[in-house]
Structure 1
Amino acid sequence: MKAKFRPALCLLLVLLAGCAPPPAGGLEAGSRELPSSGDLRGADLRGLDLTGMEEALFSADFDTCTRWPEDLPGGFDPAALLEEGKNPGLGLRALHQRGITGKGVGIAIIDQTLLTEHQEYADRLTALNETLPEGERIRVISMSVGWMPEDRGAAELEAAVARARAAGVAVVCVNSRDPLLEPWMGMGRRRYGSYDNRADLRPGAFWEELLYSGEFRGTDGPLLLVPMDRRTTASPAGEDAYTCFPEGGMSWVCPYVAGLYALACQVRPEVTYEEFLDAAQATARPVSVWKDEKTEYPYGKAVDPAALVEALAA
């Protein structure tokens, strides 16, 4: 366990620096090609003609260190995309303004390297090699780094997870066999939409085609959905740097779920993860998408954090 957040914030995706250091250098002036990797973090694009490259740009990772040409394709606004990506969505900012932030709830994050001085969380980060004060034990662990059964140390890791859960700590991890993550899935939104607006919600990019082919497991509505795509995170490139990722994965779902559980623990300190999950399912709202304005595809239920908190506080 690398870190404890005090207070625990639900906008945990913004707190995670789950990305590699940005690439350096510029691209050949006048080039009509973007890097095949789609990674524009730290790239100098000032010499490029980006006319007609909107779709490629909307699919690329970029950050506040990316240097853009003066003329950008119409409809592509990197500053707006970065800013909206910071919004945790689903009405969480309104809950934070009411003081429901997970304050006093211990969270441990096990993931890739954090730039500990980043302005997004520097004043709320505490190393776990310190002795935790009485009454401030860890309630939830978010593990966005997964493993396979055959991996070296997997048995020991699973034993440690079992011990933590036996001690009452919720461990949410990226593992196809993880019962705590099984009911959850990540979703997307319109390019310039907001996760606060239900009309802007969309299927997750990595599973959208499975929905239309009938292979998606959430078509009968049991999956709980949280924001995953088009997110902005704290970047390891600098203390005030941020990265915009157009597509996420289940590793993005783990910290969001952990953050929601932290809110639940604040309003009802004795709540178990199972009680939290029951309340989340009872208060979530069905969502669907129309394909070609002909067919409606239900794909699960979007979590309603405000309703969840109210149900637990009652």
Structure 2
Amino acid sequence: MEAIVFEEYGGPEVLRLTTADEPHAGPGQVRLRVRAAGVNPLDHKIRGGAMREVFPTEFPAILGSEASGVVDEVGEGVTGLAAGDEVFGFMETGAYAAYALASVVARKPGELGWEEAAALPVAGETADRVLNQLAVKNGETLLLHGAAGAVGSAAVQLAVARGVTVIGTASPGNHDYLRALGAIPVAYGDGLTDRVRAVAPKGVDAVFDAAGKGALPASIELRGGTPDRIVTIADPTAAEYGVAFSRGGDRDASALAGYARPVAEGGLRVPVARSFPLADAAAAHAESEAGHVRGKLVLLP
């Protein structure tokens, strides 16, 4: 099968389109013919070696943890799914490929396109998990770094639905977008603490770092000097500051289905910023690594 493989840590150029052995469904698994695969910032951090302590990589490796596609093999013990079913979910083998294996998938609603479905699993699960970990509630203020990305977009909407005031960091070009989602936008970079204090003079109750761009010291300062109620999903220096790093939780097919319905009905937005042919995975990584992406980048095998 065609797949994007890398055999060493490095820049986007280490990703190459090649032929790899096809995986086959084992007990409890289905195999998908991949129609779309999500590209996440974590992918380029793994590829570059920044996350080697948290996510060690065995080479050669295929990236990609989420996809949508058509079931074409069903493993022993799987019930309720059959060849030809359209599904989306979390992949157990790399999704940057023609085929991938999964044990946690949900049926794709007909109203949800392949690309939108592939953009949903990581964004929905991560946003929901971290908000629960932070225990944010009605009346509180959340500072969200990387608010315009796919995870950030989902987190803004889910937090606002809880009655939380969200201050979202993003580049100025994404500020109107964040306002439309219900967040108060601020620019990241030098002077961040002063800008946040200007819109939240009483301080922030919690911090969700979905960007991993060195904002932990400022976050701790804004939390009164404590790392309490700060969670990052993207900064490998978290332990140095005593900040919690959230790696992933229990993945549940019913929760996936629950994320899909409001997206299909237009009540939750996880926008697809751009789609690339599978062969252009390096270009997708370069764009992801440059930042400023509004929503999710997607690969199309």
Note whether the superposition's TM-score is higher than 0.5: no
Larger-Rg structure: 1
- Higher strand share goes to which structure? 2
Q: Give TM-score, length-normalised by structure 1.
A: 0.29
Q: Which has the higher contact order (CA 8 A, sep 6+)?
A: 1
